[in-house]
Chains A and B, each alone.
Chain A
Amino acid sequence: MAAVAPYSARAFAGGAPGWTAAAALAPASVVVTIGIVLPVVILFRYSLNQYTPAKMMVDAFTIENYAKFLTDPFYLAVLFRTIRVAALCTAICVVLAFPMAYCLARTRSRFKNLLLMAVILPLFVGNAVRAAGWMVLFGNRGFVNSILMGVGATREPLQIMYTEFAVVVGIIAVNLPFVVLTLQAVLEGIDRAIEEAALGLGAGPWRTFRHVVLPLAMPGVIAGTILSFILAMNAYATPVLLGGPTFQMMGPTVYNQFAGLSNWPFGAAMSFVLMTATLLLIVTSNWLAQARYRR
């Protein structure tokens, strides 16, 4: 290594960052800074502007948009509904994902790759397409109602579409693959011998899970929870298609402020309320979980 240092120091491949390295890094960094960081900063600035119906947006430096959101019962209800749905979906996702991830991590089946693909493919199929699948099931003449009416369980079709149930199921289906993959990656890294040792020393399967597997898998559980919560808080296609106009969540409401009402300052403020609420909840729950974990 020392012998080649004089050569490699100047080489393209190594040494201190020279002009080549700077030239390689600069374009991407500049593009990301201008393309997304700057727009987000501008959006934040706009959230402090004023909205008037005649002139749309007036330069100002006010927190009235945030105050309006936090005092309007309608918007607060949308925010709390979004938080409730996101928390519920995330809890169910983690519980459902753990057995899947565990089986995937421990299986020696030759179909393991196929089973993994079955988790990954839906990630790329698009939320709208998956919502369409639930629409086929949940519609008034959909699969579920046809079965229920066919066996005589109900005479009138049950209203499943445009309910919280439909939205929760839809979001769970969207988020579950993310949580499974996060957990599976962590579980793969836990040595099977550790579990066997716990069992060999007399711990039952439940105690082994509770005191050995779960603590070791905790980083994965936390990462999966955060990911699922963020995705659910920002969901758009699923609440629009399965919740409809009667079950409103934050994502579609923010969109409407821009596309429907052209109220940029308020829409921008809503975006930041949504992001801040998401971050605050994550930080708080993380802190609570860690405090409990230490005890």
Chain B
Amino acid sequence: MAQGAIGAPAGLAAGRAPVLDSRWILRIALLGAAALGYAVILTPIVFVCWLSFFANEIVTFPPQGYTLRWFAHIFDQNNFVSGFITSLQVGIAAMIGGLALGVPASLVLARRKFPGREALNTLLLLPLVVPGIVAGTAIYVFQIEIEIATEWPLLGSLTGLVLAHIMITIPWTVRLLSASLSGFDRSIEEAAQNLGATPPQAFLKVTLPVIKPGVVAAALFGFIISFGNLEMTLFLVAPGQTTLPIAILQYLQWRIDPTIAAVSLLQIVLIGAGMLVTDRYVKLTRVL
């Protein structure tokens, strides 16, 4: 790999023309390889966005023209509208649940040393390592068992979806808060108490402002993760109670047209906006 391939001090190689040449070739090869990677990541997204403006309903190239009417057409498709509403409800409820359970737990985990701390931390992050398909099947079977035992129609209900989604918002809350607490110096809390603050006052006036960005990020992130979940949710939806990603998947199994592309574009815009806001509070690259 070329030394300091980007923004390298070119002066180092000055006067040694052959070396300079090979470095330039390597540098261009490196940038070319990186560009190829970006192309692989971004190509499908670009094509979905492009398709959403096609005038012709059947996918052909080149398009016969461009139109915005598919975006209006979305609202005639009941499953997308209701899917969006379900996803929104589940996402918000799972986010609140994840915060209510995850914030107190991670505050204790991040700032105290006690036996079993590592084990508890692992337990709370565990849902992230259970593959979506396995988690989905396990929760599906479990909810049916509860339904049989209590006659409480859990599977396919909003409650059932929210309970399952809390499993994925808790670990992200713990992860994000641990990241934002890692630089927290506890002596400032002690200083506040030395200066006469009661422990609750010290918490509210000193600790809370410090963790606020982490909490905001965990809220948005939990929502995004829940909103986009597909593999686990697949098992837990019922006809008429479907989330948006699953409505998209089911439609795509049947056909692809500009309407579904328009739905996808709206989802991309929504999630992109959420991410940009989240990034202002906690650098996403620090927690992924």
Listed in ascending order, the chain A residues whose CB lies under 8 Å from chain B are: 1, 4, 7-8, 10-17, 21, 23-25, 27-29, 31-33, 35-40, 42-43, 46, 96-97, 99-100, 102-103, 106-109, 113, 116-137, 139, 141-143, 146-147, 169-170, 172-173, 176-177, 180-181, 184-185, 192, 195-196, 199, 205-206, 208-209, 213, 230, 233-234, 236-237, 240-241, 250-251, 254-255, 258-259, 264, 267-268, 271-272, 274-275, 278
- A-B residue pairs in contact (CB < 8 Å), sample of 23: A8-B193, A17-B114, A21-B108, A32-B124, A39-B142, A43-B138, A107-B6, A107-B7, A118-B38, A119-B38, A119-B41, A124-B228, A125-B268, A128-B245, A129-B45, A129-B264, A132-B261, A139-B59, A142-B59, A143-B61, A176-B37, A176-B41, A237-B230
> Which of A33, A46, A136, A236 touches B59 (beta carbons < 8 Å)?
A136
Is the CB of B183 closer than 8 A to any CB of chain A? no
Inter-chain contact count A-B, CB under 8 Å?
Answer: 333
Smallest beta-carbon distance B131→chain A, Å: 4
Residues of A within 8 A of B194 (CB): 4, 7
Bound Cα distance A172, B39 (Å): 12
- Residue from A118, A125, A267 having most chain B Cβ neighbours under 10 A: A125
CB-based contact B288/A251 at 8 Å: no
Q: Which residue of B lies closest to A250 (CB)?
A: B133
Say yes or no: A234 contacts B167, CB within 8 Å. no
Q: Cβ of A240 and Cβ of B256 under 8 Å apart?
A: no
Residue of B nearest to A258 (CB): B137
CB distance from A63 to the nearest CB of B (A): 19
Find A255's partner among B139, B193, B235 (CB 8 Å cutoff): B235
Known contacts A103-B5, A135-B256, then 18 further A-B pairs from the complex at CB < 8 Å, ordered by chain A residue: A4-B193, A13-B207, A14-B112, A21-B108, A27-B101, A39-B141, A117-B279, A120-B275, A126-B230, A129-B45, A136-B51, A137-B43, A141-B59, A141-B60, A147-B61, A199-B12, A234-B231, A237-B231
* B contact residues around A8 at 8 Å (CB): 189-190, 193
Q: Identify B41's interface contact among A1, A102, A118, CB under 8 A.
A: A118
The 8 Å CB contact of A36, one of B30, B50, B126, B288, is B126
CA distance A32 to B46 in the complex (A): 38
Inter-chain CA distance A140–B100, complex, in Å, is 50
Give the CA-CA distance A128 to B256 in the complex, in Å: 11
Judge whether B170 is part of the interface by a CB distance below 8 angstroms: yes
Residue ranges of B at the interface with A (Cβ–Cβ < 8 Å): 1-7, 12, 22-23, 26, 30-31, 33-34, 36-38, 40-48, 50-51, 58-62, 100-102, 104-105, 107-109, 111-112, 114, 120, 123-124, 126-127, 130-135, 137-142, 145, 163-164, 166-167, 170, 174, 186-187, 189-190, 193-194, 199-200, 202-203, 207, 224-225, 228, 230-231, 234-235, 245, 248-249, 252-253, 256, 260-261, 264, 267-268, 271-272, 274-276, 279, 284-285, 288
Task: Report yes or no: A97 in contact with B42, Cβ–Cβ below 8 A.
Answer: no
Cβ contacts under 8 Å, A271 to chain B? 133-134, 137-138
Contacts of B1 in A (CB 8 A): 102, 205-206, 208-209, 213
Which B residue's beta carbon lies closest to that of A272? B134
- Nearest opposing residue in chain B for A129, CB measure: B264
Is A259 within 8 A of B235, CB to CB?
yes
Structural contact, B111 and A14, CB atoms closer than 8 A: yes
Q: Given the complex of chains A and B, what is the CA–CA distance between A206 and B111 in angstroms?
A: 45
Complex CA–CA separation, A106 to B133 (angstroms): 37
CA distance A236 to B229 in the complex (A): 12
The interface residues of chain A lying within 8 Å CB-to-CB of B120 are 25, 29
Residues in A neighbouring B275, C-beta threshold 8 A = 117, 120-121, 124
Are B141 and A46 in contact (CB-based, < 8 A)? yes
Q: Once the chains are docked, how many angstroms separate the CA of A64 from the CA of B195? A: 69
Q: Is the CB of B193 within 8 A of A106?
A: no
Which of B44, B124, B186 has the most C-beta atoms of chain A within 10 angstroms of its own C-beta? B44
> Would you give the shortest CB distance from B80 to chain A, in whole angstroms?
13
Complex: how many Å from CA A185 to CA B287? 10
Smallest CB-CB separation from B101: which chain A residue? A28
Are the CB atoms of A132 and B3 closer together than 8 Å? Answer: no
A119–B37 alpha-carbon span in the complex (Å): 10
